[in-house]
Amino acid sequence: MRQTGVLTNAAWAALDEVYPKLPDTHAIAKDIESHILHLGLKTLIPVQTNMIWIDITSAGLQNQWFGDEASKRGIRWGHDGRVVIHHQICSEAVKILKETIEFVVEKHKSGGYGQSLASETHGYGTLKQ
């Protein structure tokens, strides 16, 4: 390999800046999981890292609803109910994410989305670039 210093610097940055923040990032993901469970939703697997997979299908929700609402609030939303917590996330973003999830759940419960999941196609969330 040529010019391996570039790769070495990236590895050092990851070890120095990212690795020490992983426990906090995982704790944030667990906190979001608790909020999701409190809303009556389920996760597909227990949260152990910085990734959360919300079981939106069994709740009759659509990923597109989350994507649209997240986009309006300036946050990114993954596909199929997947949420990944970045090591540089701020508490305000976590608050907005929780509010977005809660908004979609409450809007769905009040009939705000009209049709059920069974009669619509399962779409992907809107991601801001």
What is the residue whose two structure tokens read 């800046």? 17
Q: What digits encode the pLDDT tens for the residues 112-126?
A: 987 554 444 444 443
Low pLDDT (below 50) residues in the chain: 117-129
Confidence (pLDDT) at 127: 39
In the chain, the domains with their CATH numbers are 5-119 (3.90.1150.10)
Say if residue 30 is exposed, middle or buried (CB neighbours under 10 Å; 0-12, 13-18, 19+): middle
Confidence (pLDDT) at 2: 86
What's the whole-model pTM score? 0.81
Confidence (pLDDT) at 126: 39
Q: Return the DSSP state at 54.
A: B
Confidence (pLDDT) at 117: 44
Q: Which residues pair with 42 in a beta bridge?
A: none
